[in-house]
Structure 1
Amino acid sequence: MASTDPVTTLDSRYSSANATATEWVRGRRELAQAEVYLLTTVRPDGRPHVTPLIAVWLDGALYFCTGPDERKARNLAENPHCTVITAGGTALDDGLDLVVEGDAVQVTDEARLRRIAGTYESKYGNEWRFDVRDGAFLNEASGVALVYEVTPVTAFGFNRAGEYSQTRWRFFV
C-alpha cells in the first residue's frame, strides 16, 4: 500500500503565477465525493479503452467493479496499469480535476469485499447493494462483478478555481 502522505509538487509550467499546490487532503475528499469516474485501460493491441463507471474511495484506494467478461476486466487481466479520472465540474473556471495512476488489483478477500460493498451502498444507495460470494460481488440485476483496487502511485490535480494549478502527488510503496 502506498504512503498516505505523498510528496506534493506544483508544476509552475502549467499553473498561474501565484498558484499554490493543492493539498492531498482536498484531493482525497474530492475523490471520495465524486460520483462518476472514467477508467482508462489498455487493449491487447495497445489502444486505450475508456469507460465511465462508479467507484468508491476507501482506505487510501479507489475501488470499482465490472463483469468478468467486460472489456475492462479482460484488459486488466492482460495489463493491470490503468488511470482513473474524475472531473470537478464542467465549467472552465471551476473545479478540481483528478487523475489517479496505478495498477488495478483484483480484491477477493470476502471481509474486505463486504466493507467495500457497504461503502458502495452508503454512497450510491440500495440500487448498488451487493452481496459477496466466491470472492466477488453479486447483484440480482447485474450478476457477478469482479472488484478492483487502484492504489495511487501518482496522482494529478488540475485546479480550475481561482488560480489555475497543476499539482502532482507521488506515493512511495
Structure 2
Amino acid sequence: MAEEKEPEPELDARYSSAGATPTTWHDARGHLAGAEIYWLTTVRPDGRPHVTPLIGVWLDDALHFCTGADERKAGNLDRNPRVVLTTGNNALGEGLDIVLEGRAARVRSDKQLRRIAEAYESKYGSEWHFDVGDQVFVGGGHEALVYEVEPTTAFAYARGTTYSQTRWLF
C-alpha cells in the first residue's frame, strides 16, 4: 500500500481564531476516511453546478465513489472531470468540515476495483457489496462506474472553542 502524502498545512489567520493552529493532514484524512456521506459538485453542460450526496471510500491518497453511467454526474464528468467533494457537519459550535478539490478519473483496473469494492463493504457493510465486471462495479442488477479523486487542493474548517481554516496544496 502506498504511503499517504503529508502536505504542508497553511493556516489562514484571516478566518482563524487568535492562537489557532492548522489542522493536520493526518486529522483531515481521518475525517475523509471516516465520513459516511460526501457531497459531490460537478459542472453541468451549461456551466451550472450540480451537487449530490453520495457514499465513498478513502483509499491510496484518493476518495473513490461510484455512479451509474446514465446518471447526471457521470455525464458531467465525461465533459469536465473537475470536482469538489465536501464532508463535515452542520453544527456551528463544533466539528470539522473538509473541502477537497481535484479531478475525477475513471478506475478501470479490475485489481484496483476489487480493492475499492472491499473497502466499500468493510466501511458500509454487506448491503454495499459489489462484484467487479468489465471495468465496473456490479451490484443489485446494476452497473456503476467507479471514480477516484486525488486532491489538488483541500481545505479544513474547524469549529469549536477555536476556529481555524487550513489549506493544503498537493
Name the TM-score class by shorter chain.
over 0.9
**Which residue matches 1:95?**
95
1:158 aligns to 2:162 (yes or no): no
User: How much does 1:161 deviate?
Assistant: 2.3
User: How much does 1:7 deviate?
Assistant: 2.3
SS across alignment from 1:151: strand
1:10 aligns to 2:11 (yes or no): yes
Query: How many residues get paired?
Result: 168
**Which residue matches 1:67?**
68
Partner Cα distance (1:51, 1:91) in 2: 20
**Which residue matches 2:21?**
20
CA deviations 1:66-99 (Å, max 9, x no partner) are 0000000000000000000001x33211110000
Give the AA of the match of 1:106: R
Give the AA of the match of 1:56: V
Unaligned runs of 5+ in 1: none
Partner Cα distance (1:83, 1:49) in 2: 10
Give the AA of the match of 1:13: R
Identity rate of aligned residues, in percent? 60
CA deviations 1:96-121 (Å, max 9, x no partner) are 00000000000010000000000000
Unaligned runs of 5+ in 2: none
User: How much does 1:6 deviate?
Assistant: 1.1
1:86 aligns to 2:87 (yes or no): yes
Structure 1 length as normaliser, TM-score? Answer: 0.95
Partner Cα distance (2:136, 2:105) in 1: 13
Give the AA of the match of 1:117: A
User: How much does 1:162 deviate?
Assistant: 2.1
**Which residue matches 2:114?**
114
**Which residue matches 2:52?**
51
Structure 2 length as normaliser, TM-score? Answer: 0.96
Partner Cα distance (1:121, 1:14) in 2: 38
Q: What is the CA RMSD across the aligned residues, in angstroms? A: 1.2
CA deviations 1:31-52 (Å, max 9, x no partner) are 0000000000000100000000
Segments of 4+ moved more than 3 angstroms: none
For the 8 Å contact 2:130–2:137, the answer to whether it is kept is yes
SS across alignment from 2:9: strand
User: How much does 1:5 deviate?
Assistant: 1.7
